[in-house]
Amino acid sequence: MAITDSAADDTLDELLRNKARIIELPDDNNEDEVTGVPFPGNHLRKNGIHHLPQWLQQTTIGLFHDDYNTVSSEALDKTAAECLPHLTGQDNQGIPLNRHGLPHLQRKQHASFLHTPLKGLPAPYAAMDASRPWLFYWCTAGLSFLREDVSMYRERLMETVRPLQNKIGGFGGGHGQLSHCACTYATLLALATVGGLDVIDREAMWHWLGTVKQADGGFRMAIGAEEDIRGAYCAMTAITLLNLPLELPPDSPTREAGLTHFTDRLGEWISTCQSYEGGISSAPNHEVHGAYAFCALACLCILGPPHITIPKYLDVDRLIRCLTTLQTNPEGGFAGRTNKLVDACYSHWVGGCWALLEAAVVGPHEAKQNGSVSSAESRLWNREALVRYLLTCCQQPGPKGGMRDKPSARPDGYHTCYSLSGLSAAQNQYTYNTTASTTDRETGRLLSAFNWKGERASEGDMKGLSVERNDVVELVHPVFVIRFEAVEEARRKFARGGFPVVEGTD
């Protein structure tokens, strides 16, 4: 959730979320011999379901239930209880099943859900007035992940964001609002998705980014705002997609501290965000959080090839261990922090880390050995479990569609977009081409982030994941989180770098 600031998890939740709607378990969970305490899932034994994967079988679910209850364990148990009927196929919410017995991806409904906010929003959405660019991104990108045509939004989006762009560069959340890294990132990706990048003043953007770069190597989210790892990822995304010069602008205050480039001290700063648990925090010493792991890894994958920059700046073994444990048992989705609850948005924030980490671990060595590094067997994580969680628990049934954090939550654009990109991460294969060049000789542009290849789920992959072709989401770029075509367009469009000469300035 972190990257969206307070937008998605706070404001929307507080304002728009219903009281929790917990799905009751059937009243037969009194068989508590296994652990001695009532535990969700005990009822499943009676039904003799054997086709379930091992982590959903009663023998596994009943393990390790500590008797010592606290607020955390009660919340974890309650979440398992609301998810299990869906995970085990007892309650499919009326969603049609595919031939493997999992609910189909409700493509049409989710597409319609994502089109709706773009038409206009009622007054209570004033609470999102500072994060409206996120809606542009979640909706247009989410639609494109479903292979919906979004080109009809091009002109309107370009018009809409014009007052959000400030003369000093960058985009704010709305007209008259300060430029902000998150708003800039979201606007940029939405524009790339619909093909509207021409509206961006690249030179002003370059100057503005020079004002948020910090002497310690990181980036502030806005002038006078907090410095955290989202800023680093958002800023480097803009610099690379738009092919802005890596040199700091002459007016950048950071030059006084001896820095000359946006990349100066950046990898080192990211290193300081790896915590004692092995995961990544928003800034040094804060708690490990899944969303920040993605920001750190994606930023390192902009700086260079994954197998070089990731191990250079992070302890990979400890990071993998930490992220692995965030895949929750029995739900199969990801939590954002140790001992916290599963939430569909981390399907992207943590689920999206694996392609980057697998490429870091594999490197050029095995690629050579096997010809290709992609294999139907996932190497580090459980793709099948994530797909099951998203399809069974996170789809809002009914004609309005949309995807949600967990069954008791309401769907929203944020969770729909990141559920879809998480699905794509689980279903498709992403590999890094270790032989491609990493820097453009002419312009100095960092090219590593453009060296990714996506491969659609094969028949074998689909069978292993219990999905049909129709349930598979489009390829999503593992670093920029938009369609590959949109990334390619930005790469091509700004290949020449530099800034246009404005008439009369000579």
CA distances from 370 to 305, 338, 360, 367, 426 (A): 19, 36, 16, 6, 22
SS3 463: helix
Instruction: Answer left, alpha or beta for residue 305, where phi above 0 means left and psi between -120 and 50 means alpha.
Output: beta
In the complex, the smallest distance separating the C-beta of residue 207 from another protein, rounded to whole angstroms, is 19
CA distance 503 to 506: 7
Site for another protein in 97-126 (CB under 8 A): 117-123, 125-126
Instruction: Give the interface segment with another protein, choosing from 230-238, 372-380, 441-449, 459-467 (CB under 8 A).
Output: 372-380
- How many CA atoms, within 13 angstroms, populate the side-chain half-sphere of residue 11? 15
Residue 100 CA to residue 359 CA, distance in Å, equals 30
Q: Is 488 in the site for another protein (CB under 8 A)?
A: no
40-69 footprint of another protein as x/- string (CB under 8 A): -------------xxx----x--xxxx-x-
Measure the CA–CA gap between 370 and 316, rounded to whole angstroms: 23
CB 134 within 8 A of CB 414: yes
339 counts as binding another protein under rule CB under 8 A: yes
Token duo for residue 174? 């709305």
Per CB under 8 A, contacts with another protein among 427-486 are: none
By CB under 8 A, name the one of 163, 398, 399, 460 that touches another protein. Answer: 163
Nearest Cα residue to 479 out of 305, 249, 275, 268: 305
Name the token pair of 397.
Answer: 């049934």
Active site residue 343: yes
CA-to-CA separations, 484 to 27, 254, 392, 452, 488, in angstroms, rounded: 48, 34, 28, 9, 6
Active site residue 43: no
Write the CB contacts of 170 (distance below 8 Å, at least 6 apart in sequence).
179, 180, 181, 183, 184, 204, 205, 208, 209
From the CB of 172, what's the least distance to another protein, in Å?
A: 7
Sign for the pseudo-dihedral over CA of 386, 388, 389, 390: positive
Q: How far apart are CA 101 and CA 95, in angstroms?
A: 11
Pick the catalytic residue from 5, 412, 461, 471: 412
173 touching another protein, by CB under 8 A: yes
Question: How far apart are the C-alpha atoms of 143 and 113, rounded to whole Å?
Answer: 9
Determine which residue in the list 103, 142, 172, 267 makes contact with another protein, applying CB under 8 A. 172
| CB nearer another protein, residue 319 or residue 447 | 319
Element (H, E) at 461: helix 459-465
Could you say which residues in the range 122-161 bind another protein, by CB under 8 A?
122-123, 125-132, 135-136, 139, 153, 156-157, 159-161
Q: List all residues 6 or more positions away from 79 whose beta carbon is below 8 Å from its beta carbon.
A: 331, 341, 342, 406
CA distance 148 to 472: 14
Give yes or no for a cis peptide into 284 (omega within 30° of 0): no
202-241 footprint of another protein as x/- string (CB under 8 A): --------------------x-xxx---------------
> What is the spatial distance between Cα 285 and Cα 206, in angstroms, rounded to a whole number?
30
Among residues 35, 93, 177, 433, which is the contact residue for another protein, using CB under 8 A? 177
234 part of the active site: no
| CB of 397 vs another protein, minimal distance in Å | 25
The active-site residue out of 132, 307, 340, 388 is 340
Told to judge if 346 belongs to the known catalytic residues of this protein, a careful annotator would answer yes
- Of the candidate residues 330, 401, 402, 411, the single one contacting another protein (CB under 8 A): 330
List the one residue from 243, 327, 419, 466 that touches another protein (CB under 8 A): 327
Q: In angstroms, give the least distance from the CB of 222 to another protein.
A: 7
CB of 143 to another protein, least distance (A): 12
Applying CB under 8 A, among 92, 93, 324, 443 the residue interacting with another protein is 324
376 lines the binding site for another protein (CB under 8 A): no
State in angstroms the smallest separation of the CB of 288 from another protein.
7
Position 276 contacts another protein (CB under 8 A): yes
337 is catalytic: yes
> What number of chain residues touch another protein (CB under 8 A)?
93
User: Can residue 198 be called a binding residue for another protein (CB under 8 A)?
Assistant: no
Residues 6+ apart with CB under 8 A from 113: 396, 400, 401, 402, 411, 413, 416
Tokens 């959903």 map to which residue?
56
Q: Which residue has the tokens 């099943």?
A: 97
Is 78 designated active site? no
Options 204, 283, 308, 376; binder of another protein; rule CB under 8 A: 283
Nearer to another protein, 330 or 401 (CB): 330
Reply yes or no on whether 340 is catalytic.
Answer: yes
User: Of residues 301, 345, 393, 417, which has the active-site annotation?
Assistant: 345
**CA nearest neighbour of 116 among 309, 402, 350:** 402
Answer for which of 28, 32, 37, 72 binds another protein (CB under 8 A) is 72
Q: Which of 92, 271, 375, 382 binds another protein (CB under 8 A)?
A: 382
Q: Rule CB under 8 A: which of 386-425 touch another protein?
A: none
Q: In the Cβ-directed half-sphere of 163, how many Cα atoms lie within 13 Å?
A: 7
Q: Closer CB to another protein, residue 247 or residue 277?
A: 277
Catalytic residue among 185, 346, 418, 432: 346
**Beta carbon nearer to another protein, 81 or 446:** 81
Among 207, 230, 289, 445, binds another protein (CB under 8 A): 289
List the catalytic residues: 289, 337, 340, 343, 345-346, 405, 412, 415
